[in-house]
Chain A
Amino acid sequence: MKTVVSERDVTVVPAVRKKRKWTADHWLAAAFLTPSVVLIFIFVYGFIGWTGYVSLSNWNSLVPDLSFAGWKNYIYLFHDFRFQADLRNTVVFTVLFIGVVVVLGQFLAILLDQKLRGESIFRNIFFFPMALSFVVTGVIWQWLLNPSTGVNLFLKKFGLDSKWYTDTTILGGFHIGKIEGGVPVAMIAVVIAAVWQMTGFAVAMYLAGLRAIPEEVREAARMDGATEFQIYRKIIIPMLRPITVSVIIIMAHISLKIFDLIYAMTGPGANFVTDVPGVYMFETTFRGNYYANGAAIAMIMLLSVAIFIVPYLISSRKGES
């Protein structure tokens, strides 16, 4: 067990299906599976249905009121300054976060693949933030990127003076709906913290992919006179494309439902420059008792995650059978 990542970890061995007789043991097997299936159907699908129902109700106070309200809560949200800001922030966060994680993850994985001395130390340093809670990460980076301090003392020497997550500027601002579209500067601080925590995940996946590429592939290219750089650019990196798809989908579903990191690090921020649907849902439901509004936000979050996940699940199922 020298390597952290063996090929077996990434390839899924397809289960062979054979015609078998349905015996008493099959009944027993089904009986053991049933509780889990029932739990999932109630607690995942049933509860999603119930949340959907609440999102169409008038339950916006402490007292449950499940009278039908139609799309009222959704219409309210899409006209709401805070929710519009949330949508902008989520798009900005997701794009920046995934972009950096994919590029940096691939870069570091290739770097680690160069048979460096002390590779396992480097690897462990890149991976360890994943063992931490988003809450811990949020607390540390809140201190680290405290405006007028920390990293800034360093940057000031280069004439840079960033207000990090307290900055309310929107880069490339343009008017859209009730908000200013563009990239909120404060969001960059959150992206840095998220990248710090999650890049190791991408590195691990890419490394597993790199280790799965047989050495003969490189040997053959070398025989044809390709330089190391060309081998990576023309052969290895294109071969990593399926992993990039997996990385993007996993990071997308994390970033679309992000809550704890932002809640611990910045909160909604002035003018909601770092607010996201996860934080809004939590505050409006459990601090403000606007249950129907909160349910509507949750349903929109679910939908945005499902757009990525459902095709992924279906295609991986097809790939197996």
Chain B
Amino acid sequence: MTREEIKTAILEFFRKEFEIENPGMEDNLREIHGFDSIDAIELLLEIEKLLGSELTQEEKKRAMDIQNLNQVCDYVESMARVR
């Protein structure tokens, strides 16, 4: 999965499920788009679908510091690499 494919998939998920249109890649998701703990859990479930495998508890904990979309893409890339 390329970085561009990951970005496209994540943006589509944000548009469809979170009703967030064209967010900036560096936007603070919590402060600008009202992203909260429930959204984070839903996003992790979507990332598991993208990866085609479950994330471990440790891997999920590493996602808790994510603040923007570039970091989401970095996270997905790193998870894909170890699979």
A binds B: no
Interface residues, chain B, with chain A CB atoms under 8 Å away = none
